[in-house]
Amino acid sequence: MKRLSDAVLDAVVLPGKVVGWLVLPLIASVLLTVFAAKMGWNAIWRWEDALPVLGNGITVNTLADLQWYIFAIIAVLGGVYALRDGQHVSVDVFVAGLPQRARLCLTLFGDIVFLLPFCVIIVWYGWKFAATSFASGEGSTYGGLMDRWLIKAMIPAGFALLGIAALARVAQTLRVLFSPASNQGPAENHD
C-alpha cells in the first residue's frame, strides 16, 4: 500500500516538477516586456497567418498574458508538489503541541472533509468553465494570447491531480494510523 501511494504521489507531482522550469521563460518574458516598454515598442513580432495561442504576432500584451499563463500553471501544478512534500499552507500553529496520532486524525479529517470535496467542486465547475471558453473561442480582447481555454483547462487538470494526491495522502494517513509499528506521518520524509 505504501509503495502504491508513493508511486501515485510521484506520478502526480511530475507535472509540477516539469513546469517549475517555466520560471526561466517567465523571467525572460518579464525582461522582454520591460525592455519593449522602455523602447516604446508594442508589436515585437508580427506574421500573416494566425498561430494557435499567439494569434498574428507577439506584442507587449502577448507577453503580459504569457506571464500570467505561466504563473498560473506553476501555481496550480506546483500546489500538488507542495502538498506531497508537506510545504503547503497548513494550520501547524494549532496542531504543534498535539501528539502525532491527533495530528494524523486532523490531517485525515481536513483531507476528507475539506480538500477532497473542494477538489471535486473545482474540477466539476472548472471543466465547464474551460469547455465554455473553448466553445466560444475565447481569447484576449486587447491583443494578448488567444485560446484562453488552454489556461482555463489547467484549473480542473491541476485540481484533479491535487485530488489524486489527496486520496494518496488519505491512504498513507490511514496506513500510519492503523499501523502501530510505523511512527512517521504521510507528509514526512519525502525526497
State the pLDDT confidence band at 191, using cuts at 50, 70 and 90: very low
Encode pLDDT of 104-162 as tens digits: 999 999 999 999 999 999 999 999 999 999 999 888 877 788 888 999 999 999 999 99
> Does 43 have pLDDT greater than 90?
no
Distance separating alpha carbons of residues 61 and 41, to the nearest angstrom: 11
DSSP 18-81: HHGGGHHHHHHHHHHHHHHHHHT-SEEEEEEEEETTTEEEEEHHHHHHHHHHHHHHHHHHHHHH
Q: Please, which residues bridge with residue 57 across strands?
A: 46
Encode pLDDT of 25-40 as tens digits: 999 999 999 999 999 9
